[in-house]
Amino acid sequence: MEIVREIKQLQEKIVLLKQEKKSVGFVATMGYLHEGHVSLMTEAREDNDIVAASIFVNPLQFGPSEDFEEYPRDEERDIFIAEKAGVDLLFIPEVTEMYPTENRIEMKITKRVNVLCGRSRPGHFDGVITVLTKLFHIVMPNRTYFGLKDAQQVAVVDALITNLNFPIELVGVPTVREADGLAKSSRNVRLSPDEREEAKWLNRALIYGQHLIIDGENNPDIIVNEVKAVIEKKTSGFIDYVELLSYPALEEVETMNKQMILAIAVKFKEARLIDNLIIDASGNIVKHYK
Ligand code: AMP
């Protein structure tokens, strides 16, 4: 595995690989890698000649009161994990390398963001699409891999690729979970032992909601309220949102006959956790998005 810290150096390598007609799979991360990230890298390894990954905690996607400074980091361990996962090129730029000058071009996504995390984190997805546009131009991947744990992000990347005509195939990879169902996340380390125990109820509440759908409940408000009730009863967390929307358009659902997302965000003392299930018209969980 090669570690690259400069954009120019990475671009030179990618151009040579492209001349050799190698396919490139790309995984963007903010580091502090875990099995969720590894599953994206593994899937990229299976589909492509070359796997490129990035580790970059992108300041643009953090709000002023969010955890940019405190976001967990461990570069040495990340390098070890990425190498073991089969990454060929690991891009670890400094903030000044990615943003050497004041941002003079602002990207703004207007659809798929007035709900879920987009509503509670204003500007977050503008920061995401800005950094991804840069990364896509630098890496020029044939395919890019994102986790469905961040399903709104997958919907946003889908819109970015379509709207800006990137010749990139988007792959949404299933959420990797702990044994008790908690979605793996770099932020889980910030849960207290009690909160960690309670956090398994996030996934359980979603599954309860899924079963209401399977059993024929077709009123979105009832499903949302039932899921909220489980979280309120079983955790000390503060509910940021529980929403049932169409997926990937992320619009209100009136009838249950299309693909939907049931998504939650819960704030614990030091960590805000998100999770979701993508559910088809028959109530089955959709694991992959292509
Ligand atoms: P992050 O480092 O949190 O920005 O995540 C980088 C990529 O890994 C994103 O596409 C995430 O959706 C994905 N990811 C994070 N956690 C998981 C997980 N538990 N399962 C699958 N993918 C994940």
Asked if residue 192 and residue 165 are part of one domain, the reply reads no
Q: Kindly give the number of the ligand 1 atom that is closest to the alpha carbon of 32.
A: 2
For strands 238-246 and 260-267, give the pairing.
antiparallel
For residue 200, give the CATH number of its domain: 3.30.1300.10
Asked if residue 108 and residue 51 are part of one domain, the reply reads yes
Q: Is residue 179 part of a domain?
A: no
Asked if residue 168 and residue 223 are part of one domain, the reply reads no
Task: Name the β-bridge partners of 226.
Answer: none
* Any atom of ligand 1 within 6 Å of the Cβ of 184: yes
20-72: per-residue pLDDT in tens? 999 999 999 999 999 999 999 999 999 999 999 999 999 999 999 998 999 99
Domain count of the fold of the chain: 2
Q: How far is CA 257 from CA 21, 151, 219, 282, 287, in A?
A: 43, 20, 12, 8, 18
- The residue among 173, 205, 235 that closes a domain is 173
For ligand 1, atom 8, name the residue with the nearest CA.
37
Ligand 1 centroid–CA 215 distance in Å is: 31
CB 1 within 8 A of CB 89: yes
The reply to whether 37 belongs to the active site is yes
Asked if residue 123 and residue 37 are part of one domain, the reply reads yes
Handedness of CA 53, 57, 63, 65 (dihedral sign): positive
- The residue among 173, 205, 231 that closes a domain is 173
For ligand 1, atom 11, name the residue with the nearest CA.
147
| Burial of 71 (C-beta count, 10 Å sphere; 0-12/13-18/19+) | middle
Q: Is residue 219 part of a domain?
A: yes
Ligand 1 centroid–CA 61 distance in Å is: 15
Asked if residue 131 and residue 16 are part of one domain, the reply reads yes
For ligand 1, atom 5, name the residue with the nearest CA.
29
Query: What is the pTM for the complete model shown?
Result: 0.97
- Tell me which residue range forms the domain holding 6: 2-173
Rounded Cα distance between 84 and 80, Å, is 6
Q: Is residue 288 part of a domain?
A: no
- In the chain, the amino acid numbered 11 is Q
Asked if residue 190 and residue 160 are part of one domain, the reply reads no
- Phi and psi for 9 in degrees, rounded to 5? -65, -40
For residue 37, give the CATH number of its domain: 3.40.50.620
- Please pick, among 37, 137, 211, 288, the residue that the annotation labels catalytic: 37
Task: Name the β-bridge partners of 266.
Answer: 239, 273
Ligand 1 centroid–CA 217 distance in Å is: 31
What does the angle CA 209 – CA 213 – CA 219 come to, to the nearest 5 degrees?
A: 95
Asked if residue 86 and residue 19 are part of one domain, the reply reads yes
Asked if residue 151 and residue 28 are part of one domain, the reply reads yes
* Any atom of ligand 1 within 6 Å of the Cβ of 147: yes
Rounded Cα distance between 207 and 184, Å, is 17
- 172: which 2 tokens? 């949404």
Asked if residue 234 and residue 154 are part of one domain, the reply reads no
For ligand 1, atom 22, name the residue with the nearest CA.
147
Asked if residue 224 and residue 138 are part of one domain, the reply reads no
* Any atom of ligand 1 within 6 Å of the Cβ of 61: no
Q: Is residue 71 part of a domain?
A: yes
**Euclidean distance between the first and the last CA atom of the chain, given in angstroms as a whole number:** 28
128-141: per-residue pLDDT in tens? 999 999 999 999 99
Asked if residue 239 and residue 156 are part of one domain, the reply reads no
One digit per residue, pLDDT tens: the chain, 290 residues? 999 999 999 999 999 999 999 999 999 999 999 999 999 999 999 999 999 999 999 999 999 999 899 999 999 999 999 999 999 999 999 999 999 998 788 899 999 999 999 999 999 999 999 999 999 999 999 999 999 999 999 999 999 999 999 999 999 999 999 999 999 999 999 999 999 999 999 999 999 999 999 999 999 999 999 999 999 999 999 999 999 999 999 999 988 888 999 999 999 999 999 999 999 988 999 999 98
Asked if residue 192 and residue 168 are part of one domain, the reply reads no
